[in-house]
Amino acid sequence: MNLKICHLYPDLLDLYGDRGNILTLAARCRWRGIEPDIQQASLGEDLDFMSMDILFIGGGSDREQGLLVQDLMRREDELRKAIENGLVVLAICGGYQMLGKYYQMANGERIDGLGILDVWTIAGTKRLIGNVVVELNQTILEGDSQRLKTLVGFENHSGKTHLGEGVSPLGKVVFGNGNNGEDSEEGVRYLNVFGTYLHGPLLPKNPHLADLLLELALKRRGIDTLLLNLDDRLEELAHKVMVKRLLKQA
């Protein structure tokens, strides 16, 4: 068995160790006897979104975001169809913003997004920086009481993202800022698309989220099976220590 994992624009979108998310997915596949087929694609390269199992888009600057949106616009229909077909997507920071309707810069100029997600982003006057703890929505946990119920990560963004209709946040911020520092929401979920501002990278700190992405990718393939349990005691201990430390500061 193999899973096709595509890292989109790795040369332009890779802030704060975002590549670590790909390494984590690949490792957690191999440890279970699943062969990860890692693909990298950049500007102008042909892509077959329907054939992918997981698509990862990392974070980058406003300038890079403007360039990449134009590149993605020419294949928006294909990406949209794949997402409606259940493609698993993890989008971080700038990648998250690009999937939305638009990003309004501080000078009032708007960078149109793909409009796949009903979210929009407006540049703020200060950066939202620091560690974050998020209490996950129960729908994200999918009834699995054994999963960790929080996400931890690091944010650094000036854009304030707001959610519209048909999407839901990943969870409630209990430490940090999240989407906009105003409504206590962090990230977004739409079908199998997960958008978030959490860097760090995200998945090594949250192996339960990595496994959820893998499970969803397998289900899309028609393989409805539980993943082999891994010994995540050290990862979960590190996660819980971070949560405890930050909540003491709250």
Type of residue numbered 2: N
Catalytically annotated residue among 157, 199, 208, 239: 199
Residue 233 to residue 127: CA distance in whole angstroms: 34
Q: Among 166, 170, 160, 57, which Cα is nearest to 117's?
A: 166
Question: What are the structure tokens assigned to 125, written together?
Answer: 């006057």
Catalytically annotated residue among 93, 157, 208, 239: 93
Active site (annotated) includes residue 29: no
The DSSP code for 226 is: P
74 is in an annotated binding site: no
Question: What are the structure tokens assigned to 67, written together?
Answer: 């360039």
Contact 121, 159 (CB under 8 A): yes
Active site (annotated) includes residue 199: yes
Helical (H) or strand (E) element with 38: strand 35-41
Indicate if the alpha-carbon torsion angle 135, 158, 83, 8 is positive or negative: negative
Residue numbers belonging to the annotated binding site: 127
Annotated catalytic sites, by residue?
A: 93, 199
Residue numbers belonging to the annotated binding site for substrate: 127
